Amino acid sequence: MTEKEKMLAGKIYDPTDPELSALRAKAHRLSKEYNDLLENDPKRQETLKELGIEGDSFYLQGPVQFDYGCFTSIGKGAFANFNFTCIDCCPVTIGDNVFMGPNVSLLTPMHPLRWQDRNPYVKPDGSTTDKEYAKPITIGDNCWIAGNVTVCGGVTIGEGCVIGAGSVVTRDIPANTLAVGVPCRPIRAITEEDSLENHPELF
Residue 166: per-residue pLDDT: 98
Residue 152: per-residue pLDDT: 98
Q: For 113-166, what is each residue's pLDDT tens digit?
A: 999 999 999 999 999 999 999 999 999 999 999 999 999 999 999 999 999 999
Q: For 51-64, what is each residue's pLDDT tens digit?
A: 999 988 999 999 99
Residue 35: per-residue pLDDT: 98
Q: Which domains does the chain have, with CATH numbers?
A: 3-188 (2.160.10.10)
Catalytic residue among 111, 131, 135, 171: 111
Residue 202: per-residue pLDDT: 85
Q: For 71-113, what is each residue's pLDDT tens digit?
A: 999 999 999 999 999 999 999 999 999 999 999 999 999 999 9
Beta-sheet strands, E only, within 10-95:
59-60, 64-66, 72-74, 79-80, 84-87, 92-94
Q: 30: which residues sit within 8 A by CB, 6+ positions away?
A: 47, 50, 51, 66, 69
Averaged pLDDT of the chain: 97
Residue 182: per-residue pLDDT: 98
pTM of the complete model: 0.96
Phi/psi at 16 (5° precision): -90, 5
77 within 8 A of 96, measured Cβ to Cβ? yes
- Has 111 been annotated as catalytic? yes
Residue 200: per-residue pLDDT: 86
